[in-house]
Amino acid sequence: MDSFQTVLRFFTNQKATIGYSFMALMTIGGERLFSLVSFQCPCNQDQNFAYGMTFLLGPAAVLMILGLFFNNRLWRLYTGCCLNPVKLCPHGNCFGCARVLLSIFTGACVAPIMWLSVALLSGTFYECAVSGLEDKVVVDLFCKNKTLKCRDELARVPCGRSQLPGDESKDLLLMLRAQSQILGWCLIIISAFVGLLGTCYKNCRSKVSYLQLTFWKRYMEKEMERFDILSVEYATKLADRNLQSFFDNKDPAPFPFPNHKAWEEIS
């Protein structure tokens, strides 16, 4: 029983790590699924770019929106701030609010960046998108040292249906994939670096010590948990009382309940 508790505590501590690993696995699986089942490059100069970009950026946008949607902190801060804009800047301190919004936004960026990295490392979407570019500079760059046909047939390369000699077509494909993967690694390194810098800055400016911070984080979690449990309990009691009094046709008994202001304060 004791060792089970230890294991449980370990997993609770590593919740964030496990969550991110799970997310990464889901992203990789989703990317595999999309590029095998749904993605089929149209291989025509007009559509390639739009199509590839849709598959590269579409899921990222959806993930970003979902990330904002399921963020409790955003809603807690935001709710009711149209009727009471002062809430956003308590004590004239709009800067703090902006910092919270920035941190929320950063949190929502994790999933899209993961998707982009995975998609770029696999390279399928990028190949299709870039092969449809009509910009002269780019095409010249790609077709350097190649036969003249290359310009016309570039869009058909990702399908393997171009009329270029096999070697050239393979060269082009390898080049595009290499670009995509280099981009992907750059994205990963840059975002990891930015994340590290951000955490450094945040912790550096914090007024309390590290151990105190971890304590408060624990406290927040526990408070959230207890709030859930207690609110369900109170809601059940309140509902019971009201319905009883309704069916029995009697006045409801008084019920101790926090007033509006108290709710505002704890939010």
Q: Tell me which residues in 119-148 interact with its own copies (CB under 8 A).
A: 121-122
**If you compute the radius of gyration of the chain from its CA atoms, what whole number of angstroms results?**
27
**Is residue 1 close enough to count as binding its own copies by CB under 8 A?**
no
* Cβ distance to its own copies smaller for residue 102 or 185: 185
Torsion sign, CA atoms 227, 233, 237, 239: positive
Which is nearest to 172 in space by CA: 129, 131, 118, 119?
131
Considering only residues 175 through 214, tell me which ones interact with its own copies, judged by CB under 8 A: 175, 177-179, 181-182, 185-186, 188-189, 192-193, 195-196, 199-200, 203-214
Q: How far is CA 236 from the centre of its chain?
A: 35
- Among 54, 97, 101, 151, the residue binding its own copies under the rule CB under 8 A is 54
**Is residue 21 close enough to count as binding its own copies by CB under 8 A?**
no
**Is residue 231 close enough to count as binding its own copies by CB under 8 A?**
yes
Angle at which helices 124-131 and 166-204 cross, to 10°:
110
**Is residue 32 close enough to count as binding its own copies by CB under 8 A?**
no
Q: Smallest distance from the beta carbon of 177 to its own copies, in angstroms?
A: 6
- Among 248, 251, 253, 254, the residue binding its own copies under the rule CB under 8 A is 248
* Cβ distance to its own copies smaller for residue 110 or 234: 234
**Is residue 103 close enough to count as binding its own copies by CB under 8 A?**
no
Q: Smallest distance from the beta carbon of 136 to its own copies, in angstroms?
A: 19
* Cβ distance to its own copies smaller for residue 51 or 115: 51
Decide: 51 and 41 in contact? Cβ < 8 Å.
Answer: yes
Dihedral angle of Cα 122, 123, 128, 134, to the nearest 10 degrees: 160
**Is residue 95 close enough to count as binding its own copies by CB under 8 A?**
no
CB under 8 A, 24+ apart: contacts of 33-41: 34/59, 35/122, 35/124, 35/125, 39/124, 39/125, 39/128, 41/124, 41/127, 41/128, 41/131, 41/158, 41/159
Decide: 176 and 162 in contact? Cβ < 8 Å.
Answer: no
Angle CA(92)–CA(201)–CA(118) in degrees, nearest 5?
Answer: 115
Q: Smallest distance from the beta carbon of 237 to its own copies, in angstroms?
A: 9
* Cβ distance to its own copies smaller for residue 102 or 228: 228
Q: Smallest distance from the beta carbon of 260 to its own copies, in angstroms?
A: 7
**Is residue 93 close enough to count as binding its own copies by CB under 8 A?**
no
- Among 90, 140, 222, 252, the residue binding its own copies under the rule CB under 8 A is 222
133: left (phi over 0), alpha (psi -120 to 50) or beta: beta
Decide: 115 and 66 in contact? Cβ < 8 Å.
Answer: no
Q: Smallest distance from the beta carbon of 35 to its own copies, in angstroms?
A: 13
